[in-house]
Copies of this chain bind each other. A is one copy, B any other.
Amino acid sequence: MTLSVYLAGEIHTDWREQITGACAGLDIAFSGPVTDHAASDDCGVAILGAEADKFWHDHKGAKLNAVRTRRAIAGADVVVVRFGEQYKQWNAAFDAGFAAALGKSLIVLHGPDHAHALKEVDAAALAVAATPAQVAEVLRYVMTGELPR
């Protein structure tokens, strides 16, 4: 039984590769958003035509990305949401809320500095991890019942 895991949130570090690498050999199907920041921002106008107004430029792109993310979250068993050190990252919190409302198992990944600000998100999660390695160990345990040595 393949486990479907969606990796949401921060796109500026290699945390996704750390997790997928550490889970090599497990029957897990990982998915995630488009992580090419420029493509993600401009996809709407690049495909469907330019917009004079920046708001609609962003709007068209955000909706195209939603075709990918909504489906991947809807099809996931587990949604991991990573909050990095910088930026507002409201889309990460939005994805967490979306996943929680659908009853997905939520794993939140962030450093201790964000704990108070993320308390409502953490309260909806089944695990709060501090490192990508911990997330990988959680997934390994869920699949195999084995604890890290």
Contacts and interface: CB of A to CB of B under 8 A. Distances in A.
A128 B48 contact: yes
A66 interface: yes
A60 B119 CA distance: 9
Contacts of A43: 141, 147
B115 A55 contact: yes
**Which 5 residue pairs of A and B lie closest in terms of their CB atoms, listed nearest first?**
A97-B97, A101-B101, A93-B93, A62-B123, A94-B97
Contacts of A138: 47-48, 64, 67
Q: How many copies of this chain does the complex contain?
A: 8
Nearest to A88: B117
Contact of A120 (B53, B65, B71, B83): B65
B31 A126 contact: no
Question: In terms of DSSP, what is the predominant structure of the interface of chain A?
Answer: helix
A46 interface: yes
A62 B119 contact: yes
A115 B64 contact: no
A62 B122 contact: yes
Given A48-B127, A94-B121, 19 more contacts: A43-B141, A46-B147, A47-B147, A47-B148, A48-B129, A62-B119, A63-B126, A64-B127, A66-B123, A71-B78, A71-B105, A88-B88, A88-B114, A88-B118, A90-B118, A90-B120, A91-B120, A94-B97, A100-B101
A3 B67 CA distance: 11
